[in-house]
Copies of this chain bind each other. A is one copy, B any other.
Amino acid sequence: MPVGAGKKALLASLGLIASTGTAAALATLWKKDDVVAHCAQPLDLSSNFVQLYPGPSAGIPVDNGPGPSTCGRWDQNWDRREPASLIRPSKSKIDSSGGPVKENELAAATPKATRNLFFIRHGHYMVDAISDEGRVLTELGRAQARTTGRRLAELDLPWTKLVYSSMARARETAQIISECLPNIVMESTDLIREGAPIPPEPPTPNWRPGAQQYFEDGARIEAAFRSVVHRADPDQEKDSYELIVCHANVIRYFVCRALQLPPEAWLRMSLHHASMTWLAIRPNGRVSLRTFGDSGHIPPHQLTTS
């Protein structure tokens, strides 16, 4: 089923950048939008959206694949930082026409930079220890953390800061990584400790956190998401590259929430130890998953997940 030649120019159009340059150049280029223009005039596809998929009543009743789901709509104001939602409503009809004052307010509330969040899972650890403090990295876990630290250094991005969970295995992983990134600002928080974010769907027969655990952890991990994952502040001048060293459940939940996917799907993904998961958040609030569980830098004999 080859595709007609006339369409081929369009078929090549998705992706981010064309770069044959150095890692330093990547830092500049990665801020561009994911989609390269291949037409003269931009078009709002939202109007096409309905026309192309008229729905079951207008379509042929055949199982010919999914149309757009009713739950896949993108909430532009997902992080409550959409500029128009931040400025005061106009108080009179005259103000509502939008004068220079309102434009200034809008401009002041509009982000300019992209936030790149790199979530690093901790390394392999002593899973059977009875307390968190005993659950330190194994020798293998320390080797994984060093390998990832070296990869991050090699990427040569302008790393902004390193935030880490206060659990022992994350703290130790962060410490080892920081030795590869001299002078990086470090910050610890309890918010991103491991936990049970939401009952997974499909349910799993052999993992059973209690209702109380979901009740406490779920709200904490959601609070962590709101605190960590959002578009840049309007006063952020440059793109940022932040490292967050934490845990598999937290990262998987964050990915679902950031991409506006059903959060209960988090257990449909798994993460290698010391792997890198990269979310880019554009100034306009769009989010792109650039890698999930990136671990190609880890030698095969060091690859583990639990």
- Taking Cβ atoms with an 8 Å cutoff, the residues of A that contact B are 1-3, 5, 7-23, 26, 33-39, 42-46, 48-49, 51-53, 64-74, 76, 124, 127, 130-132, 135, 138, 140, 151, 154-156, 166, 190-191, 193-196, 198-209, 211, 213-220, 222-223, 248-249, 257, 259-265, 267-272, 275-276, 286-301, 303-306
CB distance from A4 to the nearest CB of B (A): 9
Residues A272 and B260 in contact in the complex (CB < 8 Å), given A3-B195, A124-B18: no
- On whether the beta carbons of B194 and A11 are closer than 8 Å, the reply is yes
A71 touches B68 (CB 8 A): no
A44 near B203 (CB under 8 angstroms)?
A: yes
Q: A65-B219, A202-B74, A296-B296 are in contact. Are A270 and B15 (CB under 8 A)?
A: yes
Q: Let me know if A8 and B131 touch, CB within 8 A.
A: yes
A178 CB, min distance to chain B CBs, angstroms = 19
Interface centre among A138, A155, A272, A289 (most CB of B within 10 A): A289
Q: Is the CB of A203 within 8 A of B49?
A: yes
Q: What is the distance, in angstroms, from A291's C-beta to the closest C-beta of chain B?
A: 4
Q: Once the chains bind, are A35 and B196 in contact (CB under 8 Å)?
A: no
Whole-angstrom distance between the alpha carbons of A46 and B205 in the complex?
A: 10
Nearest 9 A/B pairs, CB to CB: A15-B306, A72-B262, A45-B203, A296-B296, A65-B222, A296-B297, A71-B71, A292-B292, A23-B300
- Checking B14, B19, B155, B293 against A249 with a beta-carbon cut-off of 8 angstroms, the contacting residue is B14
What is the CB-to-nearest-CB distance from A255 to chain B, in angstroms, rounded to a whole number?
9
Point out the residues of chain B lying under 8 angstroms from A202, CB to CB.
74, 76, 286
A195 to chain B, nearest CB (A): 6
Query: Besides the contacts A14-B249, A260-B268, A268-B289, what 10 more A-B pairs have beta carbons closer than 8 Å?
Result: A3-B195, A10-B208, A14-B248, A14-B306, A18-B306, A20-B124, A33-B206, A52-B199, A71-B262, A289-B293
